[in-house]
Amino acid sequence: MSSTPPRPAPAGITAPGIVAGRLPAEALADNFTDVLPPLDRHEAIVAADRCYFCHDAPCVTACPTEIDIPLFIRQIATGTPEAAARTIFDQNILGGMCARVCPTEALCEGACVREMAEGKPVEIGRLQRFATDRLMAEGVHPYDRAAPTGRRVAVVGAGPAGLACAHRLAMKGHEVTLYDARPRPGGLNEYGIAAYKTPGDFAAEEVDWLLSIGGITLETGRALGGDLSLEGLREDFDAVFLGIGLGGVNALNAEGEDREGVQDAVAFIAELRQSADLSTLPVGRHVVVIGGGMTAVDAAVQSRLLGAEHVTIVYRRGRERMSASDHEIEHAQTAGVKIITDAMPVAVHGNGAVAEVEFAYTEDGPEGLRPRPETFRLHADQVFKAIGQRLEGAPGGLDLAGGKIAVTGAGRTSLPGIWAGGDCAAGGDDLTVTAVAQGRDAAEDIHTSLMTG
């Protein structure tokens, strides 16, 4: 820890325990370096040689984008990583980001025969990163556009689903206008993923590389429900794809949650990702994160990396119900994060600013989750809510299912000419790779509809 006193928080943060500069700049730089360094050429060949190149490879079945994993690993092993990258990008145009953030231990690597036999899978994620980074570094886009079709498609939301959809449509020869409400495209890849997983400006570089195929016009600062309407888009374009994500954050429904120092974990992660100087980012000394998913883990770990001394994740159900992967949970614990399960917040205490959070132990029975009479309190000067997001401002006329846009087939909504995918659409699992698959498949369906309708 720094020997110099931390600086006060910037204007707007008045909670006394939340301050900036808890660690010196050198420590912050070390803490937010690449969590898993890239493989060099020799390491990649050694890692590739461990693959059995299974004919009916379970890793392919476990991949939401169905990348031909044995093929691209064989291509690396034979010294053609650029060909391997093309194999990956054919199925997943955001393969570079997915190589960094996919829960491979629960997907392709979890299904690897080596994992089953030895407890050590082929390092598919790192091999994917090796191949995609090599090709992207060449600066030449590997795909050409088809002849112009004369059709125009609006894609609303420049996150993983929208980017994948826009790219595939452009490749088919359609003209695409890509809208996003934020100043920078990328969605959760730009704003919502832990900084130590994608250091530097990789998300933005990947978007620039993707857009270099041509045929895609990007317009930022434009939101559905703001200056864009679904009716207007349907009039102006031949088809519309919605990849608008989930903009709302669920409430704790606990007394006192409006106290100073209680923040949305999503907003905290976004602020951290966009910060040019992490020493100016305020963090508490005692941080409590409420939730059990990846957002909770990312907020908790990054609080520790910023210098928080005591960080606790509290989840309302048992650990086996946490949606964060075992690998990420173990990473959090290694970083010094304490995890408490089977407890839910009932009140936030303090005099203006948060000082303690009161929790009730829970039991999950036939009648659902309910609090028990026994409670406990955790000292906190900063609390992050990470209990899920919700669709905000759903376009009128669209059927909903479970609070998200209802879809059938490859993302068709209840309105003709409107498709949806990613987190805003029902049936997904809130993974970047799944959003890419949904955007890609919707684009194929849109193309078929436009060319045969």
**Which domains does the chain show, CATH number per domain?**
41-137 (1.10.1060.10), 152-247+391-452 (3.50.50.60), 249-385 (3.50.50.60)
User: Is residue 153 a contact partner of residue 215, using CB atoms and an 8 Å limit?
Assistant: no
pLDDT at 35: 83
Sign for the CA dihedral angle at 171, 172, 173, 178 comes to: negative
pLDDT tens for the chain, 453 residues: list them: 333 445 544 444 457 889 999 999 999 999 999 888 899 999 999 999 999 999 899 999 999 999 999 999 999 999 999 999 999 999 999 999 999 999 999 999 999 999 989 999 999 999 999 999 999 999 889 999 999 999 999 999 999 999 999 999 999 999 999 999 999 999 999 999 999 998 889 999 999 999 999 999 999 999 998 999 999 999 999 999 999 999 888 889 999 999 999 999 999 999 999 999 999 999 999 999 999 999 999 999 999 999 999 999 999 999 999 999 899 999 999 999 999 999 999 999 999 899 999 999 999 888 889 999 999 999 999 999 999 888 987 788 899 999 999 999 999 999 999 999 999 999 877 899 999 999 999 999 999 999 997
User: Is residue 261 a contact partner of residue 175, using CB atoms and an 8 Å limit?
Assistant: no
The token duo for 390 is 């919700």
- pTM value surpassing 0.85: yes
pLDDT at 7: 52
SS3 of residue 6 by DSSP = coil
pLDDT at 140: 87
Distance separating alpha carbons of residues 257 and 188, to the nearest angstrom: 25
pLDDT at 356: 97
The token duo for 276 is 């040019």
Of 57, 71, 152, 154, nearest to 109 by C-alpha is 57
Alpha helices, DSSP H, located in 1-110: 25-31, 41-48, 58-62, 69-77, 81-91, 95-101
